[in-house]
Amino acid sequence: MIIVLNKSEVNKRAAEIISLNYSIQDIYYYSNALNLKKNRNSNICVIIDLNEENQLTKENILPETLVKKLIDRGLPNTIQDIYLLISELTTDYPLPIYAHQLARFFSESYMHLVKIHIPSSLSYSMSMISLPLKDQWEVFGINKSDIPEGISEISLDQLLAIKNEQQIWEGKDILGWMGTPNQTYTGIAYVWGEG
């Protein structure tokens, strides 16, 4: 299933592309009336918000709150993988930390491992997704030190104007790339020690 957090043109287009490329038929738009109860057998969920001011940031939706809201609206406990197709536009709450906490809260609520997949890299402070041009998605990253002083949020145009922005990834299979180990968070803390 696909859940679109903000009903904008860019998000509708992203949902259409994901639906077409991955044969995911059920597209829902996030609202107080959202009802996911009819979709009881889904094992993946793609959450989309490519807006420059995404809903998670705009409404300051913490991981625990998002989990509660989606479960209350009927997100099935068969979910094993959640893909956050979300641009990371603020340095205040890095997407890897958000994904780790989201995975932990989902796993605690469902009593099984739920993996969260993100379009981000630990090498960068922020990342942003560009809609596919000629079937190629692009993900860009930037370091906090390259962001002009006093700016905590950034738009795609501003990001692309910064000299040191880097393309993290480009390709057709964005969910496949997000499913790789470097893009996956499980909420499990690892302790490194002497072996």
Q: Specify the higher pLDDT residue, 84 or 188.
A: 84
CATH topology of domain 2-122+174-185: Rossmann fold (3.40.50)
What does the pLDDT read at residue 1? 94
- pTM of the full structure: 0.88
What are the distances in angstroms from CA 101 to CA 43, 69, 97, 175, 193?
20, 15, 6, 20, 23
What does the pLDDT read at residue 88? 76
CA–CA distance, 37 with 76 (Å, rounded to integer): 7
Across the chain, mean pLDDT equals 83
Q: Identify the weakest region by mean pLDDT among 5-9, 169-173, 187-191.
A: 187-191
Whether residue 134 is predicted with pLDDT greater than 50 in this model: the reply is: yes
What does the pLDDT read at residue 125? 79
Q: Is the dihedral of CA 24, 49, 95, 39 positive or negative?
A: negative
Tens digit of each residue's pLDDT (9 = 90 or more) over 11-51: 999 999 999 999 998 999 988 788 888 777 789 999 998 87
What is the H or E stretch that residue 44 is in?
Answer: strand 44-49
CA–CA distance, 21 with 24 (Å, rounded to integer): 8
Residue among 95, 93, 94, 113 at smallest CA distance from 103: 113
